[in-house]
Chains A and B, each alone.
Chain A
Amino acid sequence: MVPTVLAGPLGQPGPAGAGAAAAGALPPAARSRHLGESRAVRWLLIGVALAFLVLVLFVPLLAVFAKALAPGAAAFAAAVRDPDTLSAIRLTLVTAGIAVPVNVLFGLAAAWAVTHFRFAGKNLLITLIDLPFSVSPVISGVIFVLLCGARGVLGPFLAAHDVKIIFALPGLVLATMFITSPLVARELIPLMQAQGDEEEQAALTLGASGWRTFWHISLPKMRWGLLYGVVLCNARAMGEFGAVSVVSGHIRGVTTTMPLQVEILYNDYQFAAAFAVASLLALLALATLVVKSRIERRTL
């Protein structure tokens, strides 16, 4: 590393130059003055970037809350306590409550298999795990209708046994599980690969069984990544719209989740109620972001 001590145009020393050689990345304030853009350019760029963000991001976000609360707190409470909305909330919680834990188990199993063992076809497995990510949500729903719908592959079989999947809770859960299945696995696999398995091997040499090793060594090691994956998976599971829209049939009070309820209310011109439910989902999103940033700060 060549230490470069550059003097600024006004004669200030440039100690940042030498320090940067070792660090590789500097906080903005420490960079040599002469190496940066002029103040005018800098503030212009910041201004344009922020203007874009405000227009595209902040205005829509604020609009949700403003329109939800516009008719007053009493109207907001009434909208939330409406029976169809309450059952939508319940359905969302149930769906996420099933999909997220199962996907956590899947993520743990997949990450364990992929990172601790050698076997043929590992890359193929990883690609398959990522597959739902590349499928459009609507198509994800279509797939399940084609499989389990009245005219689907399993349709006659399911009808004969009086099992309802599409237009009922199982369909919602299946579609949500499909959509969110990569989220935990994608989080855990690189994490476990980076962490290595020396501690687990050490535990084995000390006589621990597989389960003990997993429970007392592996799980605590990955707890922040796991929490991160759970939070993302949950946010996605509760907010999923496209896939669930296809398989649900929009039967009010029975198969509408919160996002679907938002759509129904909006299309019925009940804007304030739609935004009331939407604001609950937006609060969930903001909470997700807060948890995400806390975890990131802890692990950096």
Chain B
Amino acid sequence: MAAGAAAGRPRRGVLPGFGLAMGFTLTYLSVIVLIPISTLVWKSASLTWAQFWSTATGPRELAAYRLSFGAALAAAVVNLLFGLLLAWVLERYAFPGKRLVDVMVDLPFALPTAVAGISLASVYSKDGWLGRWLEPAGIHVAFTPLGVMVALTFVGLPFVVRTVQPVLHDLSPEIEEASATLGAGRGQTFLRVLLPELLPAALTGFVLALARALGEYGSVIFIAGNMPMRSEITPLLIMIKLEEYDYAGATAIALVFLTASFSLLLLINVLSWRRGAAAELPA
């Protein structure tokens, strides 16, 4: 509806303060968020399409994308499986220390990434607490893509747990009881009755964990090894380009990466929209 004359404009609300609140909000958003982000688009517009493509898809860049996406995907899958398990165990069972565990699941949210980074790097190094058992067994974690995956599993841990827990909590026991009265075993009940209920929330958590893992920097650079073409993640490559004053290269790679993250966010919104729509169907 076009903003017509004041007399014909519908009232926005009865409370005062709209002008002040909106004004501050929009100013802040523009200065801190919108203008900086638009710089990215502006700067990349100075490249021709061909230049953009060649900068963003060189062999080193492709290797970095492969590592970033591959490790993030693997870590998100691990977090999907163990997140479901953790949510189940936290909601359904009682055991000593359960409250502590529940609180600690949020640790990756609260812990600075650099702290996690040096700790993981040192624990999995050759002489580290875990590394000293794994290295002789031939499992090299430090300075390999596997290390990247371990670090990304750490940062993504809370996502699936926290999206699945409320759904599990609100699940009424009747469907399980009905399944039992119809003769299903416990495993069957879980696979065919409960899992479909939990899957949308679990997938939302999966995509959230994936999005977080893609952009992760601090937890990864200490354990990664950072060798070009082998163990170099995309954010590090962007930083290196910036330090070399290759603004065009940094911009191009950043844009490609941003597009991927935004697409993921779109996916989350579509998934939760569908879940919302499904929830409105008659039970």
Give me the interface of A with B, judged by CB distance under 8 Å.
Answer: 2, 4, 6, 17, 20-21, 24-29, 31-32, 34-38, 41-42, 45-46, 48-50, 52-53, 55-61, 63-64, 67, 102, 105-106, 109-110, 112-113, 116-120, 125, 128-129, 131-132, 134-139, 142-147, 151-153, 174, 177-178, 181, 197, 200-201, 204, 209-210, 213-214, 232, 235, 238-242, 245-246, 258-260, 262-263, 266, 271, 274-275, 278, 281-282, 285-286, 288-290, 292-293
Contact = CB atoms under 8 A, between A and B. Distances in A.
B39 A143 contact: yes
A135 B215 contact: yes
17 contacts: A27-B94, A45-B89, A49-B86, A63-B128, A102-B28, A110-B21, A116-B17, A135-B37, A138-B217, A139-B215, A178-B36, A245-B239, A246-B242, A263-B114, A275-B122, A278-B115, A289-B104
Contact of B39 (A6, A138, A152, A271): A152
Given A55-B130, A135-B37, A263-B114, A4 B25 contact: no
Given A118-B13, A147-B39, A109 B115 contact: no
From DSSP, what is the main secondary structure of chain B's interface residues?
helix
Interface of B: 1, 10, 12-18, 20-22, 24-25, 28-29, 32-37, 39-40, 42-43, 82, 85-86, 88-89, 91-95, 101, 103-120, 122-123, 128-130, 150, 153-154, 157, 169-174, 176-177, 180-181, 186, 211, 214-218, 222, 235-236, 238-239, 242, 245, 247, 250-251, 254, 257-258, 261-262, 264-265
Contact of B119 (A21, A52, A119, A278): A278
B176 A35 contact: yes
A31 to B, nearest CB: 7
A112 B21 contact: yes
Contacts of B128: 63
B172 to A, nearest CB: 5
B15 A20 contact: no
Contacts of A258: 112
Contacts of B173: 17, 20, 26, 31, 35
Contact of A153 (B17, B39, B170, B262): B39
